[in-house]
Amino acid sequence: MTSRLSESGFGLELQDVDLADLNDQIIERVTKAFYASGGALLIRNQEHLTPENLRDFVALFGTVEKNEKYNPDFLMPDFPEILRLGNLMENGKRAALWIKSDDVLMWHSDDTFRDPQPIGSCLYCVTAPPTGAATWFAGMTHAYQALSDDLKKTITPLTALHSYDHLNEFLRLSNPHRPPLSEELLKELPPIERPLVVKHPVTGKKALYVTPIHMESVNGMTEEDARPLLNQLLVHATQPQFTFAHAWKSGDLVLWDNRCAMHAPSPFDADKHDRLMYRLTINGEQIESAAEQS
């Protein structure tokens, strides 16, 4: 059984599955549900999964990353596919990637400034604080479909520069422990041009591709014209009917698709409570431009 997680139909919860038993029938159900979800699939009650079970599930959707770009202290020992997120400390040192969240939701799809971009991630809850730390999701296919024809026409030919440096400097404002990007990284990851409307390589559906915190500029537009447009599109895409917040319990898992969904973390009291999540990231078929087809 599946149930909807937002009014527009974006986001699905798939019930009565045990991901430790990946038989053909379950594989068909989870893959169908994932592509039907518009980019966010929730499955609960998976606290019994082993790291291997998690990896085998995620591998149904692409190649599982080994997280080379992260500090090895943040990876599960002998299991580099699992990146730990949260406020976990071991021997006085951070043992998980810690990104402090603000009250303002930082909507994004991951690493839009990388080529190839990771196509999605699976976030698996080990320990959740009693309140806070929900993750928000927004469906960009549903949001695109609800735009006026005029606005669709205006934005479809547009492209933007996505930049890691732009994001990093923004994150440094609230995470002073975060270093500036090294010369090496700046060279390795120069800004990349991406369309504002993309086509999903598997479903063929168009989606808005607007992550203002990664976007340095919109090509052919001044900053004064571009920011209000990007903000307008973000406000549109994050209306209640296209979004849901998932309040985590241990054993919950959400698989998201960076090609047609955004997500945003929310804060919790990290001095009082623990949060530990496992994150597995997938590489695979990249977004296409929607401009040629329209």
Residues that bind ligand OGA (CB under 6 A): 85, 110, 121, 123, 135, 263, 265, 277, 279
- Rg over CA atoms, the chain: 19
CB of 108 to ligand OGA, least distance (A): 7
Name which of Mn ion, ligand OGA, none residue 234 binds, using a CB cut-off of 5 to 8 Å depending on partner kind.
none
Q: Which residues contact 194 (CB under 8 A, 6 or more apart)?
A: 112, 159, 160, 161, 162, 209, 287
Name which of ligand OGA, Mn ion, none residue 135 binds, using a CB cut-off of 5 to 8 Å depending on partner kind.
ligand OGA
Burial 158-175 (b: 16+ CB within 10 A, else e): bbbbbbbbbbbeeeeeee
DSSP letters, 147-202, are S-HHHHHHHTT-EEEE-HHHHHHHHHHH-TTSPPPPHHHHHHS--EEEESEEE-TT
* Segment interacting with Mn ion (CB under 5 A) among 12-20, 55-63, 104-112, 285-293: 104-112
Name which of Mn ion, ligand OGA, none residue 143 binds, using a CB cut-off of 5 to 8 Å depending on partner kind.
none
* Segment interacting with Mn ion (CB under 5 A) among 3-11, 17-25, 94-102, 103-111: 103-111
Site for Mn ion in 140-179 (CB under 5 A): none
Name which of Mn ion, ligand OGA, none residue 118 binds, using a CB cut-off of 5 to 8 Å depending on partner kind.
none
CB of 262 to Mn ion, least distance (A): 9
Site for Mn ion in 175-204 (CB under 5 A): none
d(CA 104, CA 257): 22
d(CA 115, CA 113): 7
d(CA 142, CA 158): 19
Per-residue binder mask for Mn ion (CB under 5 A), 75-94, x = binder: --------------------
Instruction: By CB under 5 A, name the one of 65, 81, 110, 252 that touches Mn ion.
Output: 110
Q: Which is nearer to ligand OGA, 105 or 226 (CB)?
A: 105
CB of 113 to Mn ion, least distance (A): 13
Pairing of strands 2-4, 12-14: antiparallel
> Contact residues for Mn ion (CB under 5 A)?
110
